Structures are given as structure tokens and as C-alpha cells.
Amino acid sequence: MGGVAAIARAAGWRVTGSDRDMYPPMSTQLEALGIEVTAGFGAEQLDLKPDVVVVGNVMTRGMPVVEALLEAGKPYLSGPEWLAREVLKDRWVLAVAGTHGKTTTSSLLAWILEHAGLAPGFLIGGVPANFTASARLGRAPFFVIEADEYDTAFFDKRAKFVHYRPRTAVLNNLEYDHADIYPDVGAIQRQFHHLVRIVPGGGRIVWNAADARLKETLAMGCWTPLEGFARAGHGEALWSARARAEDFSRFEVLEAGRAQGTVEWQLIGAHNVDNALAAIAAARHAGVPVPRAIEALAGFRGIARRLELRGEVHGVRVYDDFAHHPTAIATTVDGLRRRVGKEARIVAVLEPRSHTMRMGVHRDTLAPSLAGADQVWLYTPADLGWDASAVIAACGARGHAAGDVATLARELARTLRAGDHVLIMSNGGFGGLHEKLLTELHKPAS
């Protein structure tokens, strides 16, 4: 919604908004744009007499501002619907969907188009360093959008991405998530099939050919040419890769088995090779030659909160990462391990903050996803909703828990030593743990 606000501001609207919590990088981005943000959901926000109210999916019945909006009969619509009407209707939309990798792939794709001189618009769920913003109106025709399968609003329970009507669609992967709105993975597959149904015959679907659930989804019906990608190669993959470095910071791009060039970049991890292949394929559909895309990736500088180094104190490096699903946690740990080697200690710190995590859906797969870490710290607030002791026990002597952030920072700091890599993972602000930990590390040993 912050990105939607930024685009509306660029289009000439006066924009105000509200949220329960605000934290960087979005809070600083909105402040820089002159967008007024109010804490809470009071009805007095409507005293400004807005021309239109764009309702995010955090808003629910019972909130004072929502009840006042309905009583007043004011015009309102969802963020995706506003985008479709005001921005996307005349654009070539490149939509990136999937359980994992949406933000990175969208950022890579936007940067490739930018590097090619196409000045795309974009709306991304993170802040790419190459742009320093998560959203931009851009120049027609191209618009890159992170296409989320979460529901749209309290009055529209369809997935957000069905509003975007892409000409180029990327399907990265499909796993069970969002347990608060989807009863099973089949329900998510149906939403992805709804997206597949609206991509025109003259468009393109770029899909992960190694993902069995995506294959099942496409088998429900597909009317658009397909281009598959799979890092290690696959019978249905047009695009594949050949690793040239252990941490995947260097790899060769193959099209139909033929080498097209070698990517040397700042990113690491096998999962990011998949993201790069998807972005290269999607950009090629928009007219960017593969060598130009490979050249662009060499200049990609990463994304805020994707294995972002937040600081180093006395030889201890502290990273921030958005991972909050067992698959993403495992691939992030693996990527860091490949970068730092087998001898360095990786200390994984996790906040189980997403709705799915807090419902305990991933409790059986959480410990295995952290197997690559030397030490594991789990944040277990009183309102977590399930007993995490089995996860800690499954980690053995590596496992630790803390019920509040201050205690976690203090106790964690006491265990760290020079050469450690602390990987803090959360899809929220984690109560400022990164800065609290860095502060604790600066304190003299007692």
C-alpha cells in the first residue's frame, strides 16, 4: 500500500494514509515523498473529505474508519483495483507471482528493463538498491508488479493478482502459505489458475518447470505460450544455468542448452539463480536481448532486507532478511553458508511473525529448515499461539528461545564471538532487534 501511495503521489494526487505500525524502509520512503501517515484507524481521518478511499487488506469491519466510510457512502476501492483503473489499463504489465522470490525477481526484472533504457514503472514489496524506492510510475508501456496471491480487501476476497491483467506473467513456485485465508494448497492453486486464465494468447507465461504444483496448475488449462526455467535443467525448461562458483555468485545462462553468457553479480544462493533466469526470460519477452540482461545483472546491487548486512561489531556480522517460510529460511541459510564457508558459525534468529507461522502451520518443518545453522534462536512471545518447545528440542543443543526482544538481544550478544554471522529473519521489524543487538555488542564485556 505504501507503493500504491507513492505512485498516486507521482500521478498528482494528494495522499494521506494510516497503519498500525510503520518501520523502515517504507516509513522513510513515505516521509521523503511528503505523504502524511497517521497511526491507528480513527474515523477522523475522513474529515479530510477525500475524493476516493483506497482500502488495504489490513482493514476490517469494526475499525472506526471503515465503519465511518461505509456509513458515509463515500467511494472506495482496493489498492489493486485502483492500480488497474488508474495506472495499469494502458500498460504492458509484467507480473511476478509465487510463494517465494517475488520481490527479488520483480526487482531484477525492473532493473533489466531500466538498464535497457525502457524506464519501466514498478510496484515491488521491497526496496531495490538500484532504485532506492519500492514504486515508480515510470514511462509507458512497461510496468513490473509483484503479484501477490493474498486476498484483496475485506470486500473482495479474490487474490490481488487477478486485477493486474499481465501480458507477461512469471510463476516462480507454489507452496502452502497464508493459512489465515486458504484452507489448503489446492485453494492457492485455483487462484494461480485464475491468473493463468487472464494472460492473453499473445502474452507469455514464464514458469518454474521444476515445480510440480505449478505443472498441475497449468494442466488445469493454459492458453498462453510457456517458457520454463529450472536451475539444474529439466525436460520442460527452456532456460537453465551452470554454476561457476560454489555460492552461485557466478553462473552461466543456458537457453535450450546453449550458453548465452555468464552472470557475475553480488547476489548469492541457488534460489537467486532461479530468480535471475525468470527475470531474463520475462525481459526477453519485452524485447531485451539476453546479453543485455546479463550485463544488467552484473550491476544489480541487491534489495533492502534480503540478506542485508546491517552492521559489524568486533568481527560479528549482523544480517537482516525477510525469510518467514521454511523453504525461504532453508535457502537463505544455504546461500549464506555457501558464501561464508563451512568453518564460520551461522547463528539464525527467527521471529515467527506471519499469520501462517503464528498459527503453527509450519511447526514440523521449522527445525529442519534451520538445520544449516550452527545456533538457532527462536523468538517466543507470550501471544505466539502455539508451544515452540518441540522446535527448540528438535534443534538440540543448538536451540534457544527468548520471550522478549530485549532479553533476546542481551542473551544472544553474550554467546557471539568474532567471525560469527548472525542471520536475523522476520517479515516485520522484529522490535528493532538488529539495532538492539548491535548496541549490546558495542558494550564492553563484563
- Most confident range (mean pLDDT) of 114-118, 178-182, 235-239, 390-394 is 114-118
One-letter amino acid of 258? R
235 secondary structure, DSSP code: T
How many CB atoms are closer than 10 A to CB 139? 11
Residue 100 near residue 173, CB atoms below 8 Å: yes
Where is pLDDT greater, at 256 or 322? 256
| Confidence class for position 219, pLDDT limits 50, 70, 90 | very high
Cis peptide before 25 (omega within 30 of 0): yes
Using CA atoms, how far apart are residues 55 and 361, in angstroms rounded to an integer? 28
pLDDT tens for residues 8-21? 999 999 999 988 87
3-state helix, strand, coil in the chain (%, to 5): 35, 25, 40
Between 27 and 416, residue with greater pLDDT: 416
pLDDT given at position 120: 98
- Tell me the whole-structure pTM to 2 decimals: 0.89
Local structure of 28: helix, strand or coil: helix
- Residue 157: pLDDT band with limits 50, 70, 90: very high
Q: pLDDT digit string (tens) for 60-73? A: 999 999 999 999 99
pLDDT tens per residue across span 224-238: 999 999 988 778 899
The secondary structure of 187-233 as a DSSP string is: HHHHHHHHHHHTS-TTSEEEEETT-HHHHHHHHT---S-EEEE-TT-
Of 446 and 390, the one with more pLDDT: 390
234 or 90: which leads in pLDDT: 90
Which has the closest alpha carbon to 187: 218, 159, 156, 221?
A: 159
What would the DSSP string read from start to end of 172-187? Answer: -------TTT-SSHHH
**Angstrom distance (rounded) from CA 359 to CA 355:** 6
The answer to whether the beta carbons of residues 157 and 37 sit under 8 Å apart is: no
In percent, the amount of the chain with pLDDT more than 70 equals 100
Which among 298, 320, 346 is the end of a domain?
A: 298
Q: What percent of the chain has pLDDT over 90?
A: 81
| 91/36 same-domain check | no
pLDDT at residue 215, as a whole number: 97
> How many structural domains are present in the chain?
3
Do residues 49 and 169 both lie within one domain?
no
Do residues 139 and 45 make contact, with C-beta atoms less than 8 angstroms apart? no
Task: Encode pLDDT of 116-128 as tens digits.
Answer: 999 999 999 888 9
Mean confidence (pLDDT) of the chain = 94
Kindly state whether residues 163 and 238 are assigned to the same domain: yes
What are the b/e assignments for 334-345, b being 16+ CB within 10 Å? bbbbbbbeeeeb
The answer to whether position 193 is within a domain reads yes
- Give dist(CA 164, CA 153) in Å, integer: 15
Rounded to an integer, what is the distance from CA 230 to the centroid of its chain?
Answer: 20
Instruction: Quote the CA–CA distance of 375 and 396 in Å, as a whole number.
Output: 10
Does 372 lie in the same domain as 234?
no
Task: Give me the mean pLDDT over the 138-145 stretch.
Answer: 97
CA angle 85, 304, 395 (to 5 degrees): 115
pLDDT of residue 104: 95
Q: Read off the C-alpha cell for 350.
A: 527467527
Q: pLDDT value at position 230?
A: 95
Indicate whether 82 belongs to any domain: no
Q: Where are the alpha helices (DSSP H) in 315-444?
A: 326-340, 355-358, 363-369, 389-394, 405-415, 433-442
- Looking at the fold, whether 35 and 175 belong to one and the same domain comes out as no
pLDDT digits 0-9 by tens, 51-62: 999 999 899 999
pLDDT at 446 over 70: no
Q: What pLDDT is stored for residue 433 in this prediction?
A: 95
Q: How confident is the model at residue 133, as a pLDDT? A: 87
- Are 32 and 107 found together in one domain? no
Asked which of 271, 298, 325 is the last residue of a domain, the reply is: 298
Please tell me whether residue 243 adopts helix, strand or coil conformation: strand
Its domain, for residue 184, covers 87-298
Chosen domain end from 298, 324, 344: 298
Beta pairing class for 258-264 and 250-255: antiparallel
What CA–CA distances, in Å, run from 361 to 175, 368, 424? 12, 14, 21
- pLDDT tens per residue, range 393-441: 999 999 999 999 999 999 999 999 999 999 999 988 899 999 999 999 9
At residue 25, does pLDDT exceed 80? Answer: no
| Burial of 11 per CB tally in 10 Å (0-12, 13-18, 19+) | exposed
Regarding whether 319 and 292 lie in a shared domain, the answer is no
445 — pLDDT class (breaks 50, 70, 90): confident
CATH code at position 39: 3.40.50.720
341/231 Cα distance (integer angstroms): 22
Residue 322 above 80 pLDDT?
A: yes
Asked if the structure places residue 184 within a domain, the reply is yes
Looking at the fold, whether 372 and 237 belong to one and the same domain comes out as no
Closest CA to 383 of 357, 412, 421, 409: 357
Tell me: do 176 and 45 sit in the same domain: no
The three cell numbers locating residue 102: 517475488
DSSP state, 396? G
Mean pLDDT (whole number) for 271-291: 97
Do 273 and 415 share a structural domain? Answer: no
Q: In this structure, what CATH number is given to the domain that contains residue 203?
A: 3.40.1190.10
CA atoms of 226 and 172, how far apart (whole Å): 13
> Quick one: angle between helices 326-340 and 270-285, nearest 10?
110
Residue 67 confidence (pLDDT): 97
